[in-house]
Amino acid sequence: MVFAPEEMLLIAGAPTLRRTALDRIAANRFPAYAAALATYGRALQQRNGLLRAIREEQADRAELRYWDKPFLDAGGEIVADRLALLAELARPLAAAHAEIAPDEAARSALGLRYETNAPAAAGESPRAALARRLAETAEKEAWNGSTLVGPHRDDVSFTFDGRDLAAFASRGQQRTAILAFKLAELDLLTALDGRPPLLLLDDVFSELDPERRGHLVRRIAGLPQTFVTTTTLDDLDPALLEIATTWQVIGSPAGAALADPVTAR
């Protein structure tokens, strides 16, 4: 598992980044998820090709029916699994947030909200909701030449008390929320596999105040395998440094990165 600087785009960046992050976890959590995602991708590609041909009057709408079933079956499964996953992540996400930023967590509840273009009515399954929306958008799809509804257009929002963090949160708050999300993922994968995955935290301490840095260090100190990159060892607890192996990375004149032998502080 990796936290890198580009992870900061997870909250305010394009929806595809959040879908990809959710899909990665879901593929580990649900055995059939990756296959459903692949089936959905193929059906979506074929539907879009047919819709473009229909727009150019080179195909008949009846041809869509062949691909609608795998599209709906796989799409309904994807949405159902994503919703189930978000429900499972709720508790470890709140716990991780409370560990890193206890004062903030006491004031605002960090959550994840699934935003779908095919919301289900009471008692309606995700597949049935998607089928209904597909029928409702049939004319517009033919005019646009593309599939307008489905999990490929859904999104996930990080929220404080239901408010989207992308709209108001500071960089430090966003970083805290993303770190809590990563730690929640780590806890979920640990529960599934029985052992925590290797964790790599790249430039993780910037934009965190000293208190949150300390909480984060204490949170990761108990993990068996964690790699942390930082520009200064002052961010790390001396007790952690006593048991950690430390390297100093130096840039060579040629621009390559060289790692010194193990060094003491």
48/153 same-domain check: yes
Query: Cα-flanking dihedrals φ and ψ of residue 227, to 5°?
Result: -110, 130
Residue 227 domain boundaries? 198-265
Instruction: For residues 101 and 216, state if they share a domain.
Output: no
Query: Which residues in 25-51 are b (16+ Cβ under 10 Å) and which e?
Result: bbbbbbeebeebbebbeebbebbbebb
Kindly report, residue by residue over 19-30, the tens digit of the pLDDT.
999 999 999 999
Residues 190 and 263 in one domain: no
Res 132: pLDDT: 98
Residues 175 and 188 in one domain: yes
- Are 125 and 133 within 8 A, CB to CB? no
CATH number for 19: 1.20.1050.90
- Kindly state whether residues 63 and 167 are assigned to the same domain: yes
Quick: pLDDT tens for 137-154.
999 999 999 999 999 999
Average pLDDT (152-158) is: 98
Please give the average per-residue pLDDT across 110-136, as a whole number: 97
Out of 154, 182, 197, pick the residue that ends a domain. Answer: 197
Q: With helix as H, strand as E and coil as C, how does 249-264 read? A: EEECCCCCEEECCCCC
- For helices 64-100 and 15-29, the axis angle rounded to 10 degrees is 90
203/188 same-domain check? no
The DSSP element (H or E) to which 214 belongs, if any, is: helix 210-221
Give CA–CA dist 148/204, Å, rounded. 38
Angle at which helix 171-193 crosses helix 210-221, to 10 degrees, equals 10
Q: Are residues 124 and 235 in the same domain?
A: no
Residues 104 and 209 in one domain: no
The answer to whether residues 18 and 139 belong to one domain is: yes
Which of 150, 172, 197 finishes a domain? 197
> pTM value?
0.88
Q: Which of 197, 219, 239 is the last residue of a domain?
A: 197
Total domains, the chain: 2
